[in-house]
Amino acid sequence: MSAAAVIVDLLVGDPKWPTHPVIRIGQWIRWLENRLRRGVHADAKPSVLKLRGIVLTASTVLLAWFAMVLIVVAADAIHRWLGYAVSIWFISTTIAVKGLKDAAMLVYRPLIEGNLPEARKYVGYIVSRDTDHIDEPDAARAAVETVAENTVDAFLSPLLFALLGGAPLAMAYRAANTLDSMVGYRNEKYRYLGWCSARFDDVLNYIPARLSSLLMPLSAMLVPGMSAVRSIRAVLKFARRHPSPNSGIPESAAAGALGIELGGINRYFGQDSERARLGWPLRSLTASDIVRTVRLLYVTTMLTWIGVIGLWWAVR
């Protein structure tokens, strides 16, 4: 089912209808967050907010898992093949390879047309940094970093959890990842309320991120112009410099494979922030690197898919 779900995602992506489950998860998170903040004053103890953050994380993840169990069991009770179809469909909604590619290409196309304001607009859809004054290399860098990092979040992690626990566990992972993207910030608003969500997402992505340190260099061997050896060396040298215990691995792997430097100065809420520099700047980063990184994502996806099919064939 997991292998079939990968193909469905590659063909269909994120459909406009029916409403994507992640949208419903996001609506639940926002609704519950608003209620958990009621009665909490600005000077509330961090422990109070952290406790409510635990409630937010646990209830969201468990609700996503339980709802998915009910849907799959009900479909399977009607007919076994309907149960398979429902599971495949919902697992495909937790994977976002095509959606990630589409988002990156929305940045790439205006860049090659010389329409930097349009590129900045689409960069703002995929990153939280300020985009009003970024130049072409920084716009391209944002897209490359997003595709590289989300090779784990949008593909390897949901696939792994689908293999372990079917659609319910895959959806539980997607709920945890959505929590991290919505409340897992270290700013004043979410430093304590989002603490549990951020740490839980780190735990869930720990093994998939380290799998990417093998799969992405292996994939780089099959993409013209990329270096598998340099990709491995970059992971070993730079990954630990990233503030995230996981994100530095796929970003370093991509930077090394491409022969570029990722990271550097980003601007958040009007303030410059120096992010860990990953890889060696053997050449200037250009819009074409977005396409190259998408190719790396797709080759990684297909190699992993072949591996899943091979594993299934070996143990069946």
Q: How many domains would you assign to the chain?
A: 1
Average pLDDT, the chain: 93
Q: What is the per-residue pLDDT for 16?
A: 66
pLDDT above 70: residue 77: yes
What average pLDDT does the segment 249-253 reach? 98
| Confidence band, pLDDT 50/70/90 cuts, at residue 261 | very high
118-151 residue pLDDT tens: 999 999 999 888 888 899 999 999 999 999 999 9
Q: Where do runs of H (alpha helix) occur along the chain? A: 2-12, 21-36, 46-78, 80-94, 97-112, 116-126, 136-151, 157-183, 195-220, 228-238, 248-258, 288-315
User: Model confidence over 159-174: pLDDT tens digits?
Assistant: 999 999 999 999 999 9
Average pLDDT in the 74-97 region?
A: 95
Q: For residue 132, give its domain range.
A: 2-315
How far the first Cα of the chain sits from its last, in Å, is 13
What pLDDT shows up at residue 128? 83
- What integer is the mean pLDDT of 73-97? 95
pLDDT of residue 132: 86
Q: What is the mean pLDDT of residues 230-257?
A: 96
Give the pLDDT score at 270. 72
Tokens 């250009």 belong to: 286
* Candidate from 62-76, 126-140, 142-156, 279-293 with smallest mean pLDDT: 126-140
- Burial of 96-114, coded b for 16+ CB within 10 Å and e otherwise, reads bbbbbbebbebbbebbeee
Say whether pLDDT at 42 is over 70: no
